Amino acid sequence: MTASSDTNALAIAIVGVGKIARDQHIPALARDPRFQLAATASRSGGVQGVETFETLGALLAARPDIPAVSLCMPPVPRFAAAREAIAAGRHVMLEKPPGASLAEVFRLEALARQAGVTLFASWHSRAAAGVAPAREWLAGRRPKRIRIDWKEDVRKWHPGQAWIWEPGGLGVFDPGINALSILTEICPVPLHLTASTLTFPENRATPIAADLTFTDGDGLDATAGFDWRQEGGDIWQMEIDTDAGQLRLLDGGARLFIDGQETTLDDTGEYPTLYRQFGQLIAEGRSDVDAAPLIHVADAFMLGRHLRGDPFHD
């Protein structure tokens, strides 16, 4: 089953049927009674039993009955697709990151507002089970030290995906921005970047590793290390020492520890949570376009000290 059979469900189309769509979006929609997967647009194959179009333009012209689209293609072509869908009066959900540049994101936000449609810049890691409880625990506490380690094997998670190594593909910030989306969601004080060191393979245009330093302007020690050369298991963790205890998020936010004790969490899944939020935004006539994680990435490139590393071969 690929879609809800509820006649009251909102018809939605997926644009870009690649790995993330097949692994996360399609299963989430199949379990969500609020939505019905009514069509796809993709050059890499569709979904059995669902009408497929080669282009978004063809889909929009043929299916005016579909009010919402979820854009799952890489970030560089996403602006043109989102603009086309908004101009056609459709609600739009954007995979992370919401654009290849900040200007694109802010332009789309303005276009959606003018068109009176919902635009949702989704950050799936914010929907991890431990993130909301972490935000609640940190509220009213003063962070003294923050350390993020986000390290994985690019060959495992992005096999053969050449676009991530091209300008706009973000390189190691493709997973690293997940950590930044959690940080900007839970940190009770505003942070800005003060320094970054970016390591680029000599044959690639985007970084394979990054070390970042942040400040709140008031003495907070905050650092992050991202690396795509990890071997021996993924590391997705965040440790925050405060004036009233320590918080640790492990497994990308799926596990939460307070002062060394693990907290029992209610995990409904990241992408089911995102689609529930998208449905609520549409019902309420609102948009949610938070560019804060992408601002940190842009600052990392602006402030970055560039190092050249060994060539990378997939």
Active site residues: 96
Type of residue found at 95: E
**Which stretch of DSSP H or E encloses residue 274?**
helix 270-284
The two tokens of residue 85 are 């869908």
Cα 113 to Cα 65, 85, 197, distances in angstroms: 21, 13, 37
> In this structure, how many other beta carbons lie within 10 angstroms of the beta carbon of residue 190?
10
Count Cβ atoms within 10 A of the Cβ of residue 208 and give its class: 0-12 exposed, 13-18 middle, 19 or more buried: buried
Selection from 1, 11, 121 nearest residue 59 by Cα: 11
Name the packing angle between helices 131-138 and 173-186 (round to 10°).
40
Q: Are 146 and 215 in contact (CB under 8 A)?
A: no
Selection from 54, 98, 110 nearest residue 294 by Cα: 98
| DSSP-derived secondary structure for 113-165 | HHHT--EEE--GGGGSTTHHHHHHHHTT--EEEEEEEEE-BHHHHSTT-GGGG
Local structure of 289: helix, strand or coil: coil
Selection from 252, 191, 240, 247 nearest residue 219 by Cα: 191
Q: Are 144 and 243 in contact (CB under 8 A)?
A: yes
